[in-house]
């Protein structure tokens, strides 16, 4: 006889809470998309509608034809995200694997120094002077090298590597593998969940970052997408305030279109790493 789970009141409340929480997140995003694809007339008539009454890509065309080169900025952001994520994962994997070795000399001191950097920094002015003296201004390396390693992500991955069976490395060493071969041929292939989760953290951070570009990028040709979108939104709002407005357009709709352009790439990537995300974080966050 097959037993059936009873749908208790507690389960109902949990599902109800999760449904409401999901709607709280999804409805604003849907509203932004609907407004960005509505005609100016429909938006003026009903700016808070959730059901599409018209469909227009006029604001997206304006965004891609606006001054500032949004296509070029999109390419810069993609290059920065790809290079930064690859560099960050390489350094994080190497650092985490090294710190996971219990026989590493000075391991405790090194780990405490890393944790210290999570709470204290050298300050913004010395940081800027260092990057300028290294001649990294107006280069893609100014957006990637200074933030290549996140201590938080390093600790998560280090905890994950520490929890792996020691017998794996011992068997590999019997077969003649050195530490580098063990890391790239054994440890990394079986660590896909935590690697996917940390990669997503790094990629989203690089994609959304605008602070580093504000500090170290002064050339329009090197502006990432977030800076260009911000400039276009500010410019469009200023023109609207002085009475200069494109016929059949609205500043708020243009702003919504820029928001959608900024979040679409992340939404396209996330489904491919979603299955690893929760598992990777749980495995790396708990140390037994």
Q: Which two tokens stand for residue 46?
A: 């009903």
Q: Output phi, psi for 276, to 5 deg.
A: -90, -15
The chain-wide mean pLDDT, for the chain, equals 82
Residue of 208, 105, 88, 206 lying closest to 156 (CA atoms): 88
Q: Output phi, psi for 102, to 5 deg.
A: -70, -20
User: Taking a C-beta distance cutoff of 8 angstroms, is the pair 99, 158 a contact?
Assistant: yes
Structural domains of the chain in order of their starting residue, each with its CATH number: 66-285 (1.10.3720.10)
Residue of 233, 182, 251, 249 lying closest to 68 (CA atoms): 233
Degrees, nearest 5: CA angle 147-148-153: 95
**Cα distance between residue 43 and residue 252, in whole Å:** 9
| Radius of gyration from C-alpha coordinates of the chain | 24
Q: Which two tokens stand for residue 30?
A: 């849907």
pLDDT score of 248 more than 80: no
What contacts 27, CB < 8 A, 6 or more positions away? 50
SS3 245: coil
Query: 55-111: per-residue pLDDT in tens?
Result: 888 888 877 776 556 778 888 999 999 999 999 999 999 999 988 888 888 888 988
**Cα distance between residue 70 and residue 72, in whole Å:** 5
**Cα distance between residue 29 and residue 90, in whole Å:** 34
What contacts 265, CB < 8 A, 6 or more positions away? 78, 207
Helices first, then strands: H and E counts in the chain: 13, 0
Query: 180-208: per-residue pLDDT in tens?
Result: 888 888 888 888 888 888 888 899 899 98
pLDDT, residue 106, reads: 86
pLDDT, residue 1, reads: 43
**Cα distance between residue 89 and residue 150, in whole Å:** 10
User: Taking a C-beta distance cutoff of 8 angstroms, is the pair 89, 195 a contact?
Assistant: yes
Claim: this prediction has a pTM higher than 0.75: yes
Q: Which two tokens stand for residue 28?
A: 């604003």
Best-predicted range by mean pLDDT among 1-10, 75-84, 116-125, 246-255? 75-84
Q: HSE (CB half, 13 Å, CA atoms) of 168?
A: 17
Best-predicted range by mean pLDDT among 43-52, 116-125, 129-138? 129-138
What contacts 255, CB < 8 A, 6 or more positions away? 233, 236, 237
pLDDT score of 273 more than 60: yes
What contacts 64, CB < 8 A, 6 or more positions away? 70, 71
């Amino acid at each position: 006889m097959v037993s059936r789970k009873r749908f208790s009141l507690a389960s109902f409340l949990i599902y109800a809470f999760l449904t409401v929480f999901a709607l709280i997140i999804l409805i604003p995003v849907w509203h932004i998309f609907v407004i960005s694809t509505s005609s100016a007339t429909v938006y003026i008539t009903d700016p808070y509608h959730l059901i599409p009454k018209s469909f227009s890509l006029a604001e997206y065309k304006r965004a891609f034809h606006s001054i500032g080169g949004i296509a070029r900025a999109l390419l810069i952001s993609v290059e920065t995200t790809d290079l930064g994520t690859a560099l960050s994962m390489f350094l994080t994997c190497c650092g985490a694997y090294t710190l996971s070795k219990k026989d590493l000399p000075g391991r405790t001191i090194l780990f405490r120094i890393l944790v210290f950097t999570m709470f204290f920094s050298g300050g913004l002015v010395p940081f800027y002077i260092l990057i300028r003296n290294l001649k990294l201004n107006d280069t893609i390396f100014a957006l990637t090298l200074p933030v290549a390693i996140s201590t938080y992500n390093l600790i998560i991955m280090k905890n994950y590597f520490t929890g792996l069976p020691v017998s794996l490395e011992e068997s590999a060493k019997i077969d003649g593998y050195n530490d580098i071969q063990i890391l790239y041929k054994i440890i990394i292939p079986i660590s896909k969940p935590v690697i996917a989760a940390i990669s997503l953290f790094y990629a989203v951070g690089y994609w959304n970052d605008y602070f580093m570009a504000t500090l170290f990028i002064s050339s329009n040709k090197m502006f990432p997408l977030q800076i260009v979108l911000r400039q276009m939104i500010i410019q469009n709002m200023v023109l609207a305030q002085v009475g200069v407005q494109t016929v059949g357009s609205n500043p708020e709709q243009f702003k919504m279109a820029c928001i959608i352009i900024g979040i679409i790439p992340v939404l396209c990537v996330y489904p491919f790493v979603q299955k690893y995300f929760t598992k990777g974080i749980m495995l790396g966050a708990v140390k037994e």
